[in-house]
Amino acid sequence: MRELFDEVAGQSPLDPQEAVRRTTRGPRRKRFYAGAGIGEADGGFSITLDGKPIKTPSGHQVIVPTRSIADAIAAEWNAQADAIDPLTMPLTRLANSVIEGVVDKVEAVADDVAKYLGSDLLFYRAGHPEALVAREAAHWDPILFWAADTLGAHFILAEGVVHVRQPDSAVAAARAALPSDPWSIAALHVVTTVTGSALLALALWHGVIDQDQAWAAAHVDEDWNSEKWGVDEEVAARRAARLVDFRAAASILKALNPGVG
């Protein structure tokens, strides 16, 4: 089982897409267990395969904080057919990432999220056409107003892609609103990396927007281009892969914070 878990587990939530690439480099392994279940464990719940708890590549037992997360991970294992497809197991990969790479590095992961606050997607606006300018404002301005009014984080907007340095006070105020437990910060980091916006991730965590609104806001420009020029199949495939990780991470946030939509 150790070798199999190496395949379905990412080493860090900092690059979920690299975790996916690693899982597809070798042949798929045959399903070797009859069923997955849930067990109670110190600090939470374990996931079992034929009664035996799954472990990370380094030998740590996978223990998750809530029953709903455990149920969802077990469902991934139970959904596997004759051959195990790691691409359909984002929660399993995320769980391993938390245990292997985040539990002892919460501050480092939070710092990495905070780096996005210096060049967040929401800061850089189109200058034209007017319809796109209006669409960006409709999706993004409410998040910026919330950050300013509720978090005390006042950011600077720019037109185009020329970098604008954000006030240290704004970055610090937004960083202070990040969660401090390893599961939440790992999931929030995944949302940040796949959307390109720490502010969208923060707004999702605080219940300001739901996951569908966050996903739509992250793709305003991409959707605009698709409407004008048609869908690029390669871009669409990458987006679909990111959506798998996004929804897994959003489900973790929702399980740990009922206010998440």
Q: What is the CATH number of the domain that holds 44?
A: 3.30.2180.10
* 7 within domain boundaries: yes
pLDDT, mean of residues 76-84:
94
Q: What does residue 36 show for φ and ψ, rounded to 5 degrees?
A: -105, 145
* Sign of the torsion angle spanned by Cα atoms 205, 210, 213, 216: positive
Higher pLDDT, 24 or 219: 219
The answer on pLDDT for 163 being more than 50 is yes
**For the chain, how far is it from start to end, CA to CA, in angstroms?**
35
127 with 87, same domain: the answer is: no
72 with 182, same domain: the answer is: no
The answer on pLDDT for 18 being more than 70 is no
Domain count, the chain: 2
Q: Do β-strands 44-49 and 52-53 pair in parallel, antiparallel, or remain unpaired? A: antiparallel
* 6 within domain boundaries: yes
176 with 76, same domain: the answer is: no
Tell me the pLDDT band of 2, cut-offs 50, 70 and 90.
Answer: very low
* 136 within domain boundaries: yes
121-160 pLDDT tens trace: 999 999 999 999 999 999 999 999 999 999 999 999 999 8
Domain carrying residue 52: 2-101
Predicted pLDDT at 59: 85
Considering only 68-72, 216-220, 255-259, which range has the smallest mean pLDDT?
Answer: 255-259
* 220 within domain boundaries: yes
Q: Which residue has the tokens 């929804």?
A: 247
Predicted pLDDT at 25: 52
27 with 147, same domain: the answer is: no
Q: What angle do CA 203, 217, 127 make, to 5 degrees?
A: 120
* 209 within domain boundaries: yes
Tell me the pLDDT band of 9, cut-offs 50, 70 and 90.
Answer: very low
Considering only 24-38, 108-122, 225-239, which range has the smallest mean pLDDT?
Answer: 24-38
Could you list the beta-strand ranges (E) of the chain.
36-41, 44-49, 52-53, 63-64, 124-125, 158-159
* 261 within domain boundaries: no
Predicted pLDDT at 26: 57
- For the chain, what's the residue count? 261
Provide, rounded to the nearest whole percent, the portion of the chain with pLDDT above 90. 76
Higher pLDDT, 39 or 2: 39
- The domain that holds 124 is classified in CATH as 1.10.3580.10
Provide, rounded to the nearest whole percent, the portion of the chain with pLDDT above 70. 89
Predicted pLDDT at 261: 63
| Summary mean pLDDT of the chain | 89
125 with 252, same domain: the answer is: yes
